[in-house]
Amino acid sequence: MNNDITTTTFCDNCGENEHVFRGPSTTDDFCRWLFSEVNTERTLAFDFDFELLGYCRSEVDILRKCCLKLRQMFMEITTQDDIKGIDPFEQSITIASVCNLVYRTLYLKSEQIGIIPPHGYRPEQKQSIKALYWLNYISKIHDVNIQHAFNGGEKQIGPFKVDGYRETASGEKIVYEFNG
């Protein structure tokens, strides 16, 4: 056996000796080592499906333990006198949303800054994407400029807001409404 082909080295990760096989003619050396009496704990057949399943289960177990530790730490850190700790998995999907929840719950004082309601301050003024696509389509087909939510804002006629509005050169007023 040549020293430059097969060597025994100290493993930085596990601290044990490991065999390193280099070069084109090391197949015999590798097989001799693999099937030697020193290597009796290894099985002769490699079952990929079995090994992959074991690896996946191990990964899931590690992730589960990490998630539980993260949850425990969040709940300990965010527990205050009158506030139960914040569970990062109960109301949030991302770490950013958890941090925002912690800020709003523990640090934001009442009426300190405006918190926008989930559907905005005027939820009735939402215009559908479908309607905007339709208005853009009509605008391009007829080569006209239609005023809508993203182009000058929705036109208000009396107490009502309309999806689209335009005036012709002759002064004719045209209202576009999309039901959908």
pLDDT of residue 129: 85
Range of the domain at 142: 123-176
Q: What is the pTM of this model?
A: 0.41
- Local confidence band at 137 (pLDDT 50, 70, 90 cut-offs): very high
C-alpha to C-alpha distances, 89 to 55, 72, 92, nearest whole angstrom: 25, 11, 6
Same domain? 68 vs 101: yes
Mean pLDDT of the 64-81 span: 93
Domain-embedded: residue 115? no
The number of folded domains in the chain is 3
Same domain? 103 vs 57: yes
Same domain? 60 vs 93: yes
Same domain? 172 vs 151: yes
- Quote the tokens at residue 5: 């082909």
C-alpha to C-alpha distances, 166 to 9, 28, 126, 157, 179, nearest whole angstrom: 81, 84, 20, 12, 18
Most confident listed range (43-52, 102-111, 117-126, 140-149) = 140-149
Same domain? 61 vs 87: yes
Same domain? 52 vs 100: yes
Domain-embedded: residue 112? no
Domain-embedded: residue 113? no
